[in-house]
Amino acid sequence: MSQPAFAGEQAVDSYLPNNLSLPSHVPLKRDLRQIFQNTFSTSANDQIKPALKHHRDITNKYINHILAREDLEFDETTLVNFACGYRNLFQSSYQQEHFSKLVQVSEISSLADPNDEPLTLSTMDFFHTKPNLSFVDVIKKHNGNVDKREMERLLKKDEFYSFLKNIIFVSKHPSEQVPDDEGDNEDDELNIAGGKISLKDPITLNLFVKPKLSKICGHTFEESSILAHLQNGKNECPIDGCKAVLTPNSFKDDILMLIRVRAAKKMERITDKNLDLVE
């Protein structure tokens, strides 16, 4: 025998929605939208940019510390970790800038429609009929527009990231030209002898000790020899065929060349040691 219905049970059932599943469109409260704007606004990227600067500073301190001591050598794993860390921060910064644009997307703004009723049992059927995408759907839809190829292109153009990759390469191949996927090789202006990068000052033909890179023409000289060249009243680049006009302020430290020389000396010591063992 069936049990009698409790008083008011039928009345309660009449208020239940036809579909108890969560609708695809859920109204985004204005306070939640403000949180979204604060999280993905342009100013939020300010938290990543200081991290990028800090990473560069720490990396440069490591590089300068190694170069300041002849008895120290670069650790390839450490350099690779620095490069990977910088790459991750760079990508995060790029993606954050992309997310900041989502704040202006009209579809997201519509999700905070002030005319929308709050989601309750009595309004659930209404939201099941709304054609709008959910907040998550809209984010996924526009997040898919991140141009990864553009991000990689910008990363390749990043001076510091390229510098780290070049250090890793020349530490193992001190006399070789740094390969470049796009054919825009920053070592193209270096003195090349027999298909190899020359590690000697083109004026004195001695190994570089304090190499200086011309910001005008891209040629590298030993500091003392190029200053003597200029002090003798010769302001034209000493390299044959180069007509660049140089001054003492035309140069900066050529850190990559210094690392090349350091790596070449290390390899020479290893070779000499092996020869001693053979004898």
Which tokens hold the place of 255?
Answer: 């850190």
Residue 248, CA atoms < 13 Å, CB-side half-sphere: 7
121-131: b (≥16 Cβ within 10 Å) or e: eeebeebeeee
175-234 pLDDT per residue, tens: 999 887 554 444 445 565 556 899 999 999 999 999 999 999 999 999 999 999 999 988
Helix (H) and strand (E) counts in the chain? 11, 5
Instruction: Map residue 220 onto helix, strand or coil.
Output: strand
Q: Longest C-alpha distance within the chain, in Å?
A: 118
Instruction: Please answer whether residues 79 and 164 qualify as being in contact, where contact means their C-beta atoms are separated by less than 8 angstroms.
Output: yes
154-178 pLDDT per residue, tens: 998 999 999 999 999 999 999 999 8
Which tokens hold the place of 153?
Answer: 């292109």
In terms of pTM, does the model score above 0.75?
no
Task: Enumerate domains of the chain plus CATH numbers.
Answer: 22-173 (no CATH), 186-279 (3.30.40.10)
120-152 pLDDT per residue, tens: 788 878 777 765 556 667 767 766 556 778 888
The C-alpha R_g of the chain, in whole angstroms, comes to: 32
The pLDDT, as a whole number, for residue 89 is: 93
Alpha-carbon distance of 118 to 139, in angstroms, equals 21
Which tokens hold the place of 166?
Answer: 């070049």
Overall size of the chain counted in residues? 279
Alpha-carbon distance of 114 to 174, in angstroms, equals 65
Residue among 211, 230, 213, 232 nearest 222 (CA): 211
